[in-house]
Every structure is written in C-alpha cells, then in structure tokens.
Structure 1
Amino acid sequence: MYRLRKSLIHSIQSSMKYNEKLMSNYAKYAEHKDLSKIRNIGISAHIDSGKTTLTERILFYTGRIDSMHEVRGKDNVGATMDSMELERQRGITIQSAATYTLWKNHNINIIDTPGHVDFTVEVERALRVLDGAVLVLCSVGGVQSQSLTVNRQMRRYNVPCLAFINKLDRLGANPNRVLSQMRSKMNHHAAFIQLPIGLESNCQGIVDLVDQQAIYFDGAFGEDIRYDEIPPEMRTESDERRHELIEHLSNCDDAFGEMYLEEKPLTVSDIKSAIRRSCLQRKFTPVLVGTALKNKGVQPLLDAVLEYLPNPGEVSNYGLREVQGKESEKILLDPTRSGEKPFIALAFKLEAGRFGQLTYMRCYQGMLQKGDAIFNVRTQRKVRIARLVRLHSSNMEDVNEVFAGDIFALFGVDCASGDTFVTDPKGDISLESIYVPDPVVSMSISPTNSKDRDNFSKAVARFTKEDPTFHFYFDNDNKETIVSGMGELHLEIYAQRMEREYNCPVNLGKPKVSFRETLVSPCEFDYLHKKQSGGQGQYARVSGVLEPLPPHQNTMLEFVDQTVGTNVPKPFVPGVKRGFLAMAERGLLAGQKLSGLIFRLVDGAHHIVDSSELSFFLAAQGAIKQTFETGIWQILEPVMAVEVTAPDEFQGSVMVQLNKRHGIITGTEGTEGWFTVHAEVPLNEMFGYAGELRSSTQGKGEFTMEYSRYSPCMPEVQEKLILEYQKSMGMVPEKDKKKRKN
C-alpha cells in the first residue's frame, strides 16, 4: 500500500513538472517578437541531401526537442518533421512540415520541404510564403536536377538564400567542386564564408572566414562550441578564400566595391553588412559547410540565418486590386506589427487534421485575434475564427493572436490553396496565387472492392483539395476513372494513403501520358454554320488561319481577333473563342488536347436575326474540324530531363539503356569513381526504368527526372496512338477498309 501511494505521488509530481515545462515552453514560444527578430525560412534541396536531418539538428540545438532521431534510424522513431507513417517507412519527406523555434531571442519559422520532384508543389507553395531559404547541397552529389528546380522556384518568388554544403563526412566529399557547379550550373555569385577542417572521416570542424577563427563542436552531440585559432596548415588557403570572398562582394555590392578600390581597411562588420545587403538583393550567395549527421556546422548556419537572411519587414510583398478595364493595380503591403492596417493572409496549404480541415496561412499585413471574422476574397464567404494555432510538425499550439510575418493555421475554413483572406472585404485586395505545374503522368484507378466506393470518393475529394497537382476525372470515352500527378511515385503514395487512411485498397492501371496535338504548318479555314428547322435558325460564318506557335510556346493556346468592320459583330467574338477552346480539349487526330496553336479570326458573316453567340461557338468548332481534314497534324509528347548517377563500371550499360529508350545524351561528368549522365528522354519511354536501372547497376544507380518540354513524337508512336483512338471510337482504320474491299 505504501509503495503504491509512493509511486502515485511520484507520477503526480512528474506530471506536474511536465505540465510546468509545457507552460513555460508555451509562454516562451507564444511571446510575440519585434518584426526584426523574426525569420521565415525554408529548407530546400535535391532528394537525399539531408534537409530533414538538418532540421532535426536545428530543433535540437534551439531546445525545441529533447533528443534527436534519424530519418532511417534503428530506433524506428524517425525525424520529428516526418510525422506521416509512410515518410518514416520510406525515409523520404512527402509533405512539407512547418515548425517554429527560438535562437538567440529570434523567432524562426521553418518549413521542411520534400526533395523528390514528384512533390515539387510542396516546395513551390512553401517558397511562395517564405522570406528566405537554405539551399542544402550534398558535398558528393553536388548540384543535381532537383537543386536546379528549387533554384528556379527561388528565382520565381525572388527568395534570398544561403547555401549549405552538407555531408562533409561522406566518402568523396568535395565542397570545392560543389561551389564551381553553383557558379557554372546555377549562375550564382557564390563564395565560401566557411571552410571545412578536414573531410570524410577526418572532418573536425570549420573555419569562419569572416571572423577568421576555427570552430569546433565538442560534446556527445556537438552542442559545446569551441573557438580557436585557424590551424597553421590552413592559413594560406583561408587567406586565399577570404580574399576571393572580398573580391566577389566588391563585384556585387557598390558601397563595398568602392571601399575595396580605395583600399580602405575592411572590418568584419563591413564584410557582414556587404554579405547581408547583396544576399537580400539575390546578387550573392554565401556558402556554408558542415555535416548535419555528425553534428557539425549547424549552429553557425543558424547564426548566418539571423545575420544574412531578411526579416518580414525587409521583403516587399504586393497585393493586387482589380481596376475596371485596366490591368490589376499593385499595392505594397504594410508588414508592421501595429495591427492598424486591415488583415491580409494567404492560404498556401490544406491538410486534413484531427479536427477537420487544417489551413496553413501566412499573414502579410495587420493582425488577427481569436473570435475575429475574416472573408474569403474569392468566394466572399465570412468565417469566424474559433481557434488559432501555430504548428510544430504534427503538433498544434494554440495562440490568441497572430501578426504580419507569422505562419499559422486555422480549423474548419472551407477554401482552396492560394485563396486570400481579409478582414475588410471592401478593400478588394487579393494576393498573387501559387504557380502550379501541370501533371505529366495519368493512370487509371479503381477501388479493389466495389463496396469501398464511399471511402474512395472521400479520399479523392480530400487529396485533390489538398494537392493542386493531383487531378481526378472520369473519362467518358474510355469509361475509366483517371488520376493525374507529377510522377509514378506521386500516384503510388496516394494509392498507399487510400489503403492506410481510408481502408480502401485500389488498383492502379498502366500510366497514360499527356500527349498533345498541334499543326505542322498554317492552315486556312472558312466555315459556314447554317441550321434552319423551324423557329429561329442558326447562322454564322468564320474564316481565318490556324497557325502553329514556335516550339518554345508549344504548350500554349492563343486567340487573336483580326476582324475589321461588322461582319462578325464584337459581342459574338467571345463565342468564337469559347468554341476554339472547347474543341482544344479533345483533338480529332488521337483524342489528345490541342496545344501550340494560335487561332486568327480574320473575317466572317452574320445574319441579322439568326446569328447568336451559340452560332459562332458552333461555327468555330466546325472550323477546327475542317482544319483536321485539310491540315497536317502531329502529336507532341512530354520530354523529361533525366539525370542518372552510377559507378563508372556501369556507364556503358546505362548509355545503352537510354539510347534504347530514344534518349538524347546532353552531357556527362565524372567524379572519383562515379559518373552522371544528363539526357532528354520521352516520358512514354521512361516507365519501368527504375527497376531496369537497379538490376543493371546492382542497386547502386539512381536517377531523377523532371519535365523539360513538349516535342514531336516518333512516327511509329504517332501511328500507334491514332490507331488506338480510331479503334476506341469505333472507326475502321484505312488499312482494314482496303482489306475488306479485297
């Protein structure tokens, strides 16, 4: 009895201590900082460069978590930011995860993003709302295909970045080669601000070139930082690299360049100020080094985030106001945290939480308190805020108010990704939405058990709402349900999530590629649509030219009205455009979408009584059908930029495989026993390549691919697609007609 009472008292005391710790943590993190003490950063990189491991170390050193776990750790716990069971099993990040932490009295909001190209929209929407980023590069792999994609996304949203060369402890680590690739492949003005002390198994610490000191990371987890003099054998190299850093800065920053040319003494604060100014303007990229797995270089990276990346007040964000009959007017948003200006926020990510839909938002202006009402600019619906939370991976921490610069989440808000929310609907201000790439792979999908259709429809409704690159539709012609996404892995992950989260196993069919149809040369049309069957008739005539666009615009459709006079009345021109776009949804050559075309409406005719917008809509459709009979058409297919990395002994077999798949080799490079092949291969030829590459390289080969462009497909592929389309439509191909005649 005494033991039971003692254990009960002990459990109550430990519970009280835990609650006290939670309350102190809550008070510490809930405190709203000044705007200059806030950083919103993203961790972005190519797959398997160490983003999630780096984020885990950041959370540990800032005191956000008590212990570190590995992405593929033996303890089966997994990294904090990989909260989904599938992420822990596969050892990859699938969904971007948000957290916030404190470092040197600064509040840092962090979004850890996936590296796989199939989940590129997660990176896209994270960079849309962030003020700065850390570009992680592997010291062995260097600048890889997804690194280039992330770099393009940063340029699109004008996001300043630091580069962190990770994995210095790996065999074959070569940060100098990575720096030269950043300059040649990414066109970055980049220079080291740190140097590694030793590489591979001899990695001991780093040299800070700005402060001119060595930094060592002692203790079991590298938490004890020791500053020392630069090792004698590295003084020459560090002096050379410091001089290179100063030269790069003088080229990027005018004020610093003048000081350098006038040979004025350059202090540490001068160099740091120049790095900050040029980094904020995206003219210079400071390069840091370390190894997150071996706990080296993470704390100096956090210091660099505070010193060189912008706070929300240093970034210009604009809202758009619609002006009648003119282009949208740009309005500079006020990020000050006074709360005087009306609240404006962007919903950048949706997720199904435990208590309904969770909507991730970034506040750009004003403040929001619990109990306030906000309006969705797109739908004009009013929502009352019952709960405001900030996120730490899958955990939520309630707050009473949020200010400009904060990343937060709301429950039960019915909206779409990219919607703008305001407290003043009369202001009529909306934020620029998020760029969403078109899906490139389609597969047929159906529930294994017909009884699971309810769960299947719930899963599809949720996933299509959460992920704008995941599309779902029913193909009436083929009588099958189709899902489209960014790659095979993308669709495979969603199929597994349907089984795990909705108890609905599904069957995925062979992938269908998004082909396109276009004209080879300009084709004139002159079509008269005339219908008279009692009552008001239909009369419309359209004439003009359907032309192919240049190859670099072959995914676009354009409509140009070149009519003069009143032969085609202006109110009926939109009907012609709608008819053209409606026909573009499904071509008559192989049933694919039309693209790379410009419809020039030159002339036409109308009837005073029988003409209407519908008549011209049908006339435009008839004109497109006419061009299919008179013009020369071709099929375009998506071509992927493929990057294959494998040991040197397999180079011949890899080249042969790519050639068999009608690939064009665009470049090769080799480093210390490994080679990398860059090629452009039609997507239609890439299915099943993962298994073939693994078997031919003893499991050592890796490949990544991303969409590059559309280009004309091979004649035999075009013939096969046309034949399949004719059979599916019940048409008799020309060959079969001849056979029947004979």
Structure 2
Amino acid sequence: MRTLMRTVRNLGILAHVDAGKTTLTERILYATGATHKRGEVHDGTTVTDFDPQERDRGITIFAAAVGCVWDGHRINLIDTPGHVDFSDEVARSLRVLDGAVVVFDAVAGVEPQSEAVWRQADRHGVPRIAFVNKLDRAGADLDTAVASLRERLGAVPLVVQLPIGREGGFTGVVDLVRMRALLWEGEGAGSYAEGPVPDALRDEAYRRRRLLEEAVAELHPVALEEFCTGSGVSDGTLAAALRDLTLGGEGVVVLCGAAYRDCGVEPLLDAVVAYLPSPADVPPVRGTLDGAVRERPADPGAPFAALVFKVQATATGRLSCLRVYAGTVRKGDAVLDMGTGRTERIGRILRVQADRHAEVDRASAGDIVAVVGLKGARAGTTLCAPGDPLVLEPPTVTDPVVSVAVEPRRGLDTDRLATALARLVEEDPSLTVRTDPETGQTVLSGMGELHLEVAVEKVRRAHGLEVRVGRPRVAYRETVVRGVSGLTYRHVKQDGGAGQFAHVVLDVEPADGEHESGDEDFVFRSAVVGGRVPQEYVRAVEAGCRDALAEGPLGGHPVTGVRVTLTDGATHVKDSSETAFRTAGRLALREALRASVVTLLEPVVEVTVTVPDDAVGGVLGDLAARRGRVSGSTTRAGTAVLTATVPLAELFGYASRLRGRTQGRGTFTTRPAGYAPVPAGVSEQVPKAASRG
C-alpha cells in the first residue's frame, strides 16, 4: 500500500490573481485526458471555476479539487484563489497539500499576492516548483522573472529550461536536464515534438546547464562530488539532486511556458512527478492528545486520522472535504469528531472533480476526498478512529477586517437570513456573524470588500433572499502607548453567602515587538513572590485581563500590544476564589487602561496600482487624498507600477474611482500590511464599537 502511495501527488496551484493558474489547471486536465475540451476563463467554461459568481467575475473565489492521472501517478490538484480577500481559502488548502506549483507572470514577475502565498507555503513547509507563465506576451522575460524570485522571495531558483523564441515567437523550451528541445507545433495534448538543441541556442544551453550544475553542486554533496571530477554532473544525479533540494526546501526548480497556448504543460507534469513529494515522502503527521504530542505515520494500516479542510453545502447534501493522513476509512465506518466529541457514521465517500463527484468504497492515507453524512464537522475538525483519538493542528483563521450590516428586505425573512448566514460561516470560517447589541442589526465581517460582496451575493442566489447591505466598516484596534505602574485593585463582595475577595497590583506597559502587525499580542507574567497569590489565582487574573482586552477605553475596540505584570496581591482565607480573582483582573485592567495613554490603530494595506504613464499624476493625487504613502514606483512597457500603504477605510469604492481616472485601463491589488496609528484629526471621526456587554 505504501508503494501505491508513492504514485500519488497532492498538489496546489498558487498564484497572484490573473497569473494564469486556472488556465494552467484546465490545460493540465486536458493534457492528462481528464477533460476532452479546453475550458476558458473568459468564456466561463472552466472546470474548477464552476460557481456562477466565479464565471461572472472571471476570477477564482473558491478552492476547487480535481483529479487526473499522468505517467501512472494520480494527481489530486487544488486550484486556489489568487485574490487577497480569499487568502484564508488558500491557507486551508495548503494545510492539507504535500506540494505546490507557484505560477508567475513572465512580464510582472513576483507580484504582491504571489509573494503572500509563497510565505504561506513557507509557514506550512510545502515544497514547491515555479512555473513562469505567459512567455508569449510582449515584454515577457524569463531571466527578469527569475531575478524577482531571488530578490523578493529569497528563493534559490534552479532554472531547468531555456525558452526557444521570444514573446510572440515563443515556440518551445530546451530541457537543460536531458539537453533536448521540446517544440509545440500543433493543437492538443501530446502535440509537442522532441528533438536536438537548435544550433543557434547550443552554446547558451550548455552555458546554462553548467550554471545549473554549479548551483546544484553548491547545495548537494553527491552532485558536488561528481562536479569536482571535472566531467560535470550526470543527468541522473542532477535529477535526483533537484528532487532532494525541492523536498528540503533548499532550492526551487523553475520551468516556463505559455499555458493558454498549451506550451510547457507536459514538462511541468513530468516535473511534478519527478520532484514533488508523495504522501509517503512527508513526515508522520503530528497531533496532540491531553497535551502530549503524538505522531501517526502515513500508513493505510495505521489508526485512522483525517483533517476536514472545507465544508460545502450542495443540492445533494453537506459535503466535508478531508485529507486522510493515516489509516483507511470505508463507507459506513464510525469516526470520532474531535471538535464535537461525537461519533458519526460515514454515509458516502466521493472523489471530487470540481462540482462533479464519483463514489468510491474507501479512502486511505494520502487521499483527498469528500464524505457525506457528517453533521457537526467544521473546517479544521479532526476525524479519527474512535478507539485511538488524536487532534491535528487546524488551519489558522485570520481575524476579519471589514464589516457590513445586513438585513432582509422583508421582515418575514429574518429567520431564513439567519440560517443562510450560519451556513455561510460553516463553509467559510474567515466570515463571522454577530448581532449588534445596540442596534439589533446583524453584522457580517470578512477579509475585504470583495469577500463580503461575494458572501452577500451567495445569500441572494443560493437562498433566494433579497437583503439590504450597509456601508462597510473596518475593524479598529486600541493599544497602549504609555502605561501605568502599581495600579492597585481590591475586589470585595458580600451578599449573605460566601463572599468574594481578591487584591491585585498590576503594571501595564506596551508589549515589546511590532504590535502594529495586527496580532493580538498580549503578554502576561507574574512577579509575585512568597506565594502571596497562589498559581491557580494567577491564571484567573490572566483570564480576567484577557476578558478586559475585548473593549478598550477609547471606543470599545479590542486592545492589542499590551504587557501586564502581576506584581503583588493578597488573598482571604475563606472568601478568595478563582472567580473573584478573574473579576479583579478584568476590572483592574480596565481601570489601568483608562489611566494609560492609549491610541487607536487602523488596518492598513499595501496597494500596488498599475496605470498608464499619462495617468500617474491623477492617481498619485488620489492616493494622497486617501492618506496613502507612496513607497515605490517603477515603469515598464508604457505603464507605471505604484506601491503605496493606504488605510483600508479609505479604499472603499477605489476600484470604480480608479477606472474613471484611467479610462478603465488601471488595475490594483492589495495585501494586508498590519495596523498603524490613526491620526488625531481622523480618530475623532471613527465610530465607536458596539458594546459587547
């Protein structure tokens, strides 16, 4: 069974929006025979962008899983979104993948979101190869794109191909590992011709092969040994070394092509099989149970363990997409849901092909499948054998930064709207829904304006509801600039029965590090000596302080970037309890925050704007009016690329404004850049957060 696992590749396609990853996915499905007609993004006929909104907007919104077979290997492929608003969808996919192909535009090189997904892959330890796409476009240059990988990503690119022809004349590549030419001359899968390296490129090809050998020899001891003999590195050793370096994350194999014209797809599939890991190549999955770390090998015979990474509501029922890390599960088996603690039965097991499904009898270690029958599973839930529990690390969920109020147009639809929103949150954990206690409005929060637009439109289409949407609001934070020392608080309560007594002394100061990063960095420590406050009460004080961070003194926004030190305290022999000290911690920190100097923080984003040269002046003026700070400007092929940091609150409606200023020729992308202090004149206009009670 482990031999069979070596013929599986769990692969993600990652890229900046419009780099061509969905087109590449379609060409992979066509080249492998999984489809018999090429799907096109502009025609709305792609397999993976099957949702009506994806076809209407021409972008990938939801990660879609498909499968195909190449050279005797089954490839489970997930096409991921490229827009920053859906980066959590990418993170959930990366959590369950073994490898990735990162697609780059040969003209633009590394773009903001391609850098973001690269960093996500770094955090998850996912080996990857790079595909430089669109080499047939005007201004395309492989060497420039590769240089941007080295400079912006800190990667060690190992370029294994040399383009044949430039821009519109691009017709093929030289394979530098096997020293052969591959030319795409016709239409359809397998239409390329293999031949000798063209005479005009022979010297350049051998020079680049030598550079590749040198780069590999610097990183791989076996290749170095062969290289030092003076005869160079053999093809077999070079290929083996490239695989080792890819799996270890020490180098990145770089291929190139033009997916829209079917150029370069087959060699990319060969590279996926040759260099990216199978489930048998990855380390045993690690989980926890009762605080102890446990490992479970990728073995079909081991106790069952799987992670749910996506939940979908379909016309035929609720699908839970999962990655099986260990063991085997069959139709009808009972599994333990570690999120709810309940045992549930697997109704059906499905191989997923975007919006189509094929039923199978079982799923084993290394498989990515969907199951029917799980009522309580959520994204991030661990499923395991009832007699051998384990909790796998779930994907992280980013805090939402934009909110809108939503309400049904008809009062009779209130309950239907609540049900629809609850289902949305089940499918997308980066969305949250709450009720504003002051206004009674339902507030939907997400990762950006587009994210919320898509969510609301899904409610309208899938549930047939007409809803009204308020103006977007961003998520502000508060932080301490100058704290207080020795704040004393006594909590004493007598109400006839057992009393409550807690005495605490706190120091409050800004936390070290970059609290502007947006992380909820709260540091708590105890400096109490002599056992004046027992350890269980210290933990209660910390819990109370965390409670107090939910509302800051300026406007009721969450507080971040704070260090609290418990320096002293006192207890009562009868009336002290964990409840009393938790209450004291909460009220003491609230009082300390009111006595501190606190400032307001707002979310900011890095905006990359691409505009014609003649529109630069107007765009710069508009960015300045939006409190933007321009950090860079480059020019290429008659267009200017401007980079600026802009408060998120100032970007609502920017897309239509930019189109108007540039006659529809300007585009922009964003990525989160953390939090920054709100200027004094602006902070007075920031609405206060609703009380959380």
TM range (shorter): over 0.9
Partner of 2:405: 444
1:191–1:244: 8 Å Cα contact kept in structure 2? no
Q: What SS does the corresponding residue of 1:720 show, helix, strand or coil?
A: coil
1:26-65 equivalences in 2 (<5 Å): 34-65=4-35
Deviation at 1:611, TM superposition (A): 2.6
Conserved 8 A contact 2:155-2:251? yes
State how 1:312-327 maps to structure 2 within 5 Å. 312-323=279-290
Deviations 1:567-594 (A, max 9, x none): 3333322332222111111112111011
Q: Secondary structure at the match of 2:260?
A: coil
Provide the secondary structure at the position in 2 that maps to 1:638.
Answer: strand
Q: Are the counterparts in 2 of residues 355 and 411 from structure 1 also a CA contact under 8 Å?
A: no
**SS state at 1:99 partner:** strand
Contact 1:56 1:79 in 2 (8 A): yes
Instruction: Give RMSD over aligned pairs.
Output: 1.9
Check 1:544–1:160 CA distance in 2 against 1; reply closer, same or farther (3 A cut). Answer: same
Aligned length: 686
CA–CA separation in structure 1 for the residues paired with 2:617 and 2:208: 39
Residue by residue, what CA displacement relative to the aligned partner does 1:98-156 show, whole Å, maximum 9, x if unpaired? 11111111111111111111111111111111111100011122110100111011101
Matched residues in 2 for 1:263 and 1:458: separation?
70
Number of the residue aligned with 2:36: 66
Alignment of 1:458-537 (within 5 A): 458-524=419-485, 525-537=487-499
1:718, distance to aligned residue in structure 2 (A): 2.0
In the alignment, the residues of structure 1 paired with residue 64 and residue 121 of structure 2 have an alpha-carbon distance, to the nearest angstrom, of: 18
Matched, 1:549 2:511: yes
Distance in 1 (CA, whole Å) between partners of 2:450 and 2:502 is 49
CA–CA distance in structure 2, aligned partners of residues 329 and 182 of structure 1? 36
List per-residue Cα deviations over 1:252-273 (Å, max 9, x = no partner): 2122122213324422111111
Question: Is structure 2 residue 100 aligned with structure 1 residue 133?
Answer: yes
Aligned equivalents of 2:660, 2:248: Cα separation in 1: 47
CA distance in 1, matches of 2:473, 2:110: 31
Give, as a single letter, the amino acid of the residue that structure 2 aligns with 1:48.
Answer: D
Q: Distance in 2 between matches of 1:668 and 1:242?
A: 35
- DSSP 3-state at the match of 2:530: coil
Following superposition, the deviation at residue 215 of structure 1 comes to: 0.8
**Which whole-Å deviations, capped at 9, do the CAs of 1:674-731 have from their partners, x for residues lacking one?**
222222222122222212211112211111111112221111122233xx539x89xx
Query: Corresponding residue for 1:156?
Result: 123
Residue number among 148, 151, 154 corresponding to 1:187 in the alignment: 154
- Where 1:519 maps in the other structure, the secondary structure is strand
Task: Give the counterpart letter for 1:194 in structure 2.
Answer: Q
2:337–2:381: 8 Å Cα contact kept in structure 1? yes
1:384 CA displacement:
1.8
The alpha carbon displacement at 1:200 in A equals 2.3
Aligned to 1:208: 175
Q: Which of 318, 332, 335 is the aligned partner of 1:357? A: 318
Deviations 1:639-694 (A, max 9, x none): 21221122222222222222222222222222222222222222122222212211
TM-fit CA distance, 1:539: 2.4
Tell me the distance in 2 between the aligned counterparts of 1:536 and 1:386: 53
Partner residue in 1 for 2:141 = 174
Match of 1:562 among 527, 533, 548: 527
Matched, 1:427 2:400: no
Deviation readout 1:328-352 (Å, 9 max, x if unpaired):
3242x3223xx32111111111111
CA distance in 1, matches of 2:333, 2:132: 45
1:601-612 pair list within 5 angstroms: 601-612=566-577
Conserved? CA contact 1:137–1:163, under 8 Å: yes
CA distance in 1, matches of 2:77, 2:230: 40
Q: Is the Cα–Cα contact under 8 Å of residues 131 and 312 in structure 1 kept in the other structure?
A: yes
Q: Note the 1:95-106 alignment, pairs <5 A.
A: 95-106=62-73
Find the aligned partners of 2:497 and 2:297 in 1 and give their Cα distance.
Answer: 60
| 1:38 maps to amino acid | V
Q: 1:589, 1:628 within 8 Å by CA — same for their partners in 2?
A: no
Written as runs of structure 1 = structure 2, the 5 A alignment for 1:269-668 is 269-323=236-290, 328-331=292-295, 333-336=296-299, 339-413=300-374, 414-423=376-385, 425-524=386-485, 525-554=487-516, 555=519, 556-668=521-633
5+ residue gaps, structure 2, are none
Residue aligning to 1:25: none
State the partner residue of 1:10. Answer: none
> Hey, what's the Cα distance between the residues in 2 that align with 1:221 and 1:345?
38
Could you say if the C-alpha distance between residues 551 and 685 of structure 1 is closer, same or farther in structure 2, counting changes exceeding 3 Å? farther
- Alpha carbons of structure 1 residues 197 and 578: separation in structure 2 relative to 1, 3 Å: same
Distance change in 2, residues 1:649/1:251 (3 Å) = farther
Aligned partner of 1:587: which letter?
Answer: G
Q: Does 575-584 or 130-139 show the bigger shift?
A: 575-584
Residue 32 (structure 1) shift: 11
1:119 is matched with which residue: 77, 81, 86? 86
The range that moved more, 425-434 or 510-519, is 425-434
CA separation in 1, counterparts of 2:432 and 2:41?
A: 30
CA contact (8 A) 1:455 1:503 kept: no
AA in 2 matched with 1:304: A
Alpha-carbon distance between aligned partners in 2 of 1:406 and 1:653, rounded to the nearest angstrom: 53
Task: Report the CA distance shift for 1:308/1:509 in structure 2 as closer, same or farther (over 3 A).
Answer: same
Query: C-alpha distance in 2, partners of 1:490/1:268?
Result: 47
CA displacement at 1:551 relative to structure 2: 4.4
Q: Please list the CA deviations of residues 275-329 of structure 1 after superposition, one character each: whole Å capped at 9, or x if unmatched.
A: 1111111111111111111111111111111111111111113222335xxx632
Alignment correspondent of 2:58: 91
Instruction: Give the structure with the larger helix fraction.
Output: 1
Q: Quote the offset at 1:160 in angstroms.
A: 0.8
Distance 1:191 1:669 in 2: 27
Q: Once the 2 structures are TM-superposed, how far is the Cα of residue 533 of structure 1 from its aligned partner?
A: 4.6
Q: 1:734 — aligned with what?
A: none
8 Å CA contact retained: 2:336, 2:389: no
Question: Aligned to 2:158, what secondary structure does the other structure show?
Answer: strand
Show the counterpart of 1:256. Answer: 223
TM norm structure 2: 0.95
8 Å CA contact 1:343–1:366 kept in 2: the answer is yes
- Asked if the contact 1:53–1:292 (Cα under 8 Å) also holds between the matched residues in 2, the reply is yes
1:576 alignment partner, SS class: helix
Q: Which amino acid aligns with 1:37?
A: T
Distance 2:536 2:200 in 1: 80
CA distance in 1, matches of 2:13, 2:541: 47
| CA shift for structure 1 position 222 | 5.5
User: Do 2:348 and 2:373's aligned partners in 1 also have CA atoms closer than 8 Å?
Assistant: no
* Counterpart for residue 26 of structure 1: none
**Counterpart secondary structure, 1:34:** helix
**CA distance in structure 1 between the partners assigned to 2:3 and 2:244 by the alignment:** 23
